[in-house]
Structure 1
Amino acid sequence: MPRKLVLIIDDDYRNIFALKAVLRAKGFGTLSAPSAQEGFDIMAENEKISVVLMDMMMPDMDGYQAIGVMKKSQKMRDIPVLAVTAQAMVGDKERCLRAGASGYVSKPVNIDELIIQIQEVTSKK
């Protein structure tokens, strides 16, 4: 039985594939969605999700908007979100945290840092 269930929301299947492979190797369960709306649908059906890895740059609804929707939802607001983004400029991390993310990981993802952040945000739940 997986320790924790991670939902990856990213419009790039290569990112989903790579993250799933690494997380599974580390003993995590994984689910994925190529859009924020599909991610919301998965969260509505599955109460065991420990954390969401949210791509911040997606075409239909970006991660900032998606986190806003989650924080307004009774069912989703307590699920921690880690912003996973190629945006690594000064101020981007703060912008993600202000939007409601519990943590921030820049791409290319440092797996050790990602695992540490997942453990930190899920231990607070």
Structure 2
Amino acid sequence: METQKKVLIIDDDNRNIFALKAVLKAKGYQCVAAMSGEEGLQLLESSPDIGVVLMDMMMPGMDGYQAIAKMGECEDLKEIPVIAVTAQAMVGDRERCLDAGAVGYVSKPINVDLLNELLIKYI
């Protein structure tokens, strides 16, 4: 059986990481987490088994938009799909995330069924 790729959760809020990990582990996903865009990029560079990134778009320091841009500049990281996970749910926010390079968008509170559909599609 093929080894399943891991899901990297990048979010500056431990409660969001805890909740996402619990939901995803219950669905059989392996998860790792980072508390910042910088930490997430370091994890991506050192962990070739990461298959998809769940990216919080609003973080202090390097936000999700900047982290996606950095991934796009790196040959080894630019093919890893990023799903934007954000509290931003106003008109235009979804398009802004997709224009930044995310392959999918899920607003908080998270619709677990939608998130699972995206993970199945991209992992």
Structure 1 and Structure 2 fold alike (TM over 0.5): yes
Q: Give how far 1:75 is off.
A: 1.2
Q: Give how far 1:2 is off.
A: 6.5
- Which residue in the other structure is 1:89 paired with? 90
Do the aligned residues in 2 keep the contact of 1:23 with 1:30 (CA within 8 Å)?
A: yes
- Which residue in the other structure is 1:111 paired with? 112
Count residues in correspondence.
122
Do the aligned residues in 2 keep the contact of 1:55 with 1:84 (CA within 8 Å)?
A: yes
1:39 aligns with 2:75: no
RMSD of Structure 2 on Structure 1 (CA) = 1.2
Q: Give how far 1:4 is off.
A: 3.2
Please identify runs of 4+ aligned residues in structure 1 that moved more than 4 A. none
- Which residue in the other structure is 1:74 paired with? 75
Structure 1: which 5+ runs fail to align?
A: none
Q: Give how far 1:57 is off.
A: 0.3
TM-score (normalizing by structure 1): 0.94
Structure 2: which 5+ runs fail to align?
A: none
**Aligned partners of 2:82, 2:37: CA distance in 1, in Å?**
12
**Aligned partners of 1:121, 1:102: CA distance in 2, in Å?**
9
TM-score (normalizing by structure 2): 0.96
Equivalent position amino acid for 2:41 in 1: F
- Which residue in the other structure is 2:103 paired with? 102
